[in-house]
Amino acid sequence: MVTTTTTTNTSATTYDDSAAKLFLYPAILFLIIGMSFGVFIAFNAFIFPDYFAGEYIHFGRVRPVHVGTVTLLWLLSVDIGLMLYFVPRLCGVSLWGQKIALWAGGLWWFSLILGVNSFPWGTNFGWEYAELPTWISWIPIKVFFTIAWLLMVLVFFMTIARRKFENMYVSLWYSMGTLIWTTFTVFVGSFVINWVPEGISRVNVSWFYVHNLVGLIYTPMGLATAYYFLPKLANTPIYSHRLSMIGFWSIAFIYAWIGTHHMIHGPISQWMQTLSIVFSIWLFIPVWTVVYNLFATLQSDWAKYLQSAPIRFLMMGNIFYLITCVQGPLMALRNVNEITSKTDWVIGHSHISLYGTFTFFAISGLYYAIPSIVKKPLWSNVLADWHFALNLWGSILFLFSLWVGGFLQGLMWANWANGDSFAEFHANITRLSFVDTVALMRPWWIMRGIGGIIILLGNILFVVNLFNTIILKAPDKVQEPVAEAVRI
């Protein structure tokens, strides 16, 4: 609808993507490494519990490696890499400080790879999603990571400040938002948490950090990616810029408030729980604007959904985003929370958001960005189709087994509250003890494990496909679409 005016210089600008490559290529590998850890614990902790036993390999020490690898080494890194790809293109200028970005990338991988893989040796910091150690021997991991991030912030803001195109596309808004939010959030979750009073004050800071990590880092980065690549992939302009602005500002307004909804019914002040519930419900606004906007963009030509695997990834990610964000606010309601909280439903929810939604967005972005960066077509479209099919069915199996199993376990726990007196409640729990409710989860965990294997297989195809795209074929005629700013 809205087109930018300065399109004349575009073809003159070539983009140096070496920094983007530094972030993207390793991240693609860490996708399957992180998922392999996930599959390993799905079997070694749940289906054949403690089969490989020992100090360095039990569930509690491997789980953070899985989570750290997929959240930081894969998703955050790939999102940064994609931003390095599209931010210069949306600004019409080459990346400012290419060298700084390369140094930051080196520091980034050094601190994260070392930090995440040190968990089995007992370096876990002890706060959810903030497990990175402050120190490994004399190496200040967190400080290094923070410096790398700050350098990236500098690079992005300088690039945006020097931009050629005056109007800023929504992806740039989201990118700028996340640069500010993440800086603050990382600082709070990694450092400030040690300076506030012990106890619930720290818990409160921790949940603020945890939810902002998802809501103010992965969400804006993922949406910036989706908003950039859908018009590119489908070769059609975005449906409504105004709608995308509503989405952006409501995220900016709402997300920071809702961390406390992780503590509903817990030992935290009731007014804060209520406040977080109210804001959680408001999340429907940013989500639905995004979902509708993306759907409406493709509305003119749904045939593209069938023709292109990356578009399928993006639109399926959009559907998963809708499901995530219907679940999220509902799970914050006190009565729903009573059943779903502390069950596998929560694990399902975190996977649909970080995997089903934002990983799908990132994969879709990679399918566009990698051929464009290496200036060759994708090695195999058939493989991409298989990749999507395996991912979709694997995810559905994975997610539904966790939701259904978790919900049933929640109902079993709630059953302890049937009756009028403590004697009756106590009789309930002697009939169905806690450990029995765990044992009854096994069939669901087996389904989850199988789903995980299917997804992993699909992603191995993906990595092979991209590897061959990058390595095998000689340069081809494929060029970057010329009219960069016109289309979006």
Residues of this chain, 268-327, that bind other proteins according to CB under 8 A = 268-269, 272, 275-276
Is 405:418 a contact under the CB 8 Å cutoff? no
Residue 129 C-beta: closest distance to other proteins, Å: 10
Residue 52 CB, shortest distance to other proteins, in Å, is 10
* Shortest Å distance, C-beta 10 to other proteins: 13
**Per rule CB under 8 A, is residue 347 in the interface with other proteins?**
yes
Q: Which two tokens stand for residue 420?
A: 């009028």
Tell which residue, 230, 237, 234, has the closest CA to residue 302: 234
Q: Does 138 bind other proteins (CB under 8 A)?
A: no
Which positions from 439 through 468 interact with other proteins, judged by CB under 8 A? 439
Which CB atom, from 386 or from 425, has the smaller least distance to other proteins?
425
What is the torsion angle, in degrees rounded to the nearest 10, for the CA atoms of residue 349, residue 351, residue 352 and residue 353? 90
Residues between 199 and 218 with contacts to other proteins, criterion CB under 8 A? 199-205, 208
Phi, psi of 139 (to 5 degrees): -95, 115
Does position 434 interact with other proteins (CB under 8 A)? The reply is yes
> Under a CB-based contact definition with an 8 Å cutoff, are residues 381 and 432 in contact?
no
Q: Is 267 in the site for other proteins (CB under 8 A)?
A: yes
Closer to other proteins by Cβ: residue 128 or 385: 128
The answer for residues whose C-beta is within 8 angstroms of residue 299's C-beta and 6 or more apart is: 239
**Residues 394-423 interacting with other proteins (rule: CB under 8 A):** 413-414, 416-417, 420-422
DSSP 8-state code for residue 139: B
Which lies closer to other proteins via its Cβ, residue 157 or residue 284? 157
Minimum separation from the CB atom of position 45 to other proteins (A)? 7
Give the CA dihedral 200, 204, 205, 207, nearest 10 degrees.
130
197 binds other proteins (CB under 8 A): yes
Part of the chain binding other proteins (CB under 8 A), chosen from 338-346, 390-398, 464-472, 478-486: 338-346
For residue 356, count other CB atoms closer than 10 A to its CB: 25
* Residue carrying structure tokens 């669901």: 444
Position among 58, 143, 396, 487 found at the interface with other proteins (CB under 8 A): 58
Query: Quick check: 135 binds other proteins (CB under 8 A)?
Result: no
Contact 346, 340 (CB under 8 A): yes
For the bound state, the minimum distance from the C-beta of residue 14 to other proteins, rounded and expressed in Å, comes to 7
Q: In angstroms, what is the minimal distance from the CB of 343 to other proteins? A: 7
Lay out the site mask for other proteins across 13-32 (x = CB under 8 A, - = otherwise). Answer: -x-x----------------
- Total residues contacting other proteins by CB under 8 A comes to 93
| Total Cβ atoms within 10 A of residue 344 | 23
Q: Which two structure tokens, joined as six digits, stand for 241?
A: 């810029």
Options 124, 219, 340, 364; binder of other proteins; rule CB under 8 A: 124
Say whether residue 238 binds other proteins (CB under 8 A): no
- The type of residue at 68 is G
**For other proteins, which is the closer residue by CB, 347 or 460?**
347
Helix (H) / strand (E) containing 361: helix 360-374
Q: Which of residues 79-98 bind other proteins (CB under 8 A)?
A: 93-94, 96
Stretch that binds other proteins, among 18-26, 46-54, 297-305, 457-465 (CB under 8 A): 46-54
The tokens for 164 are 């050629």
Q: Which of residues 154-183 bind other proteins (CB under 8 A)?
A: 158, 160-162, 164, 166-168, 173, 176-177, 180-181
In the complex, minimum distance from the CB of residue 234 to other proteins, in angstroms, rounded to a whole number = 26
Who contacts 6 (Cβ-Cβ below 8 Å, separation ≥6)?
Answer: 92, 164, 165, 166, 485
Please list, in sequence order, all residues whose beta carbon lies within 8 angstroms of the beta carbon of residue 84, skipping any fewer than 6 positions away. 17, 19, 20, 23, 95, 101
State which of residues 428, 460, 467, 468 lies at the interface with other proteins (CB under 8 A). Answer: 428
Q: How far apart are CA 480 and CA 299, in angstroms?
A: 25
Q: Which amino acid is at 34?
A: G
CB of 137 or CB of 201, closer to other proteins: 201
Nearer to other proteins (CB atom), residue 58 or residue 468: 58
- Name the DSSP class of 244: H
Strand partners, 136: 139
> What dihedral do alpha carbons 223, 225, 231, 232 form, nearest 10°?
180
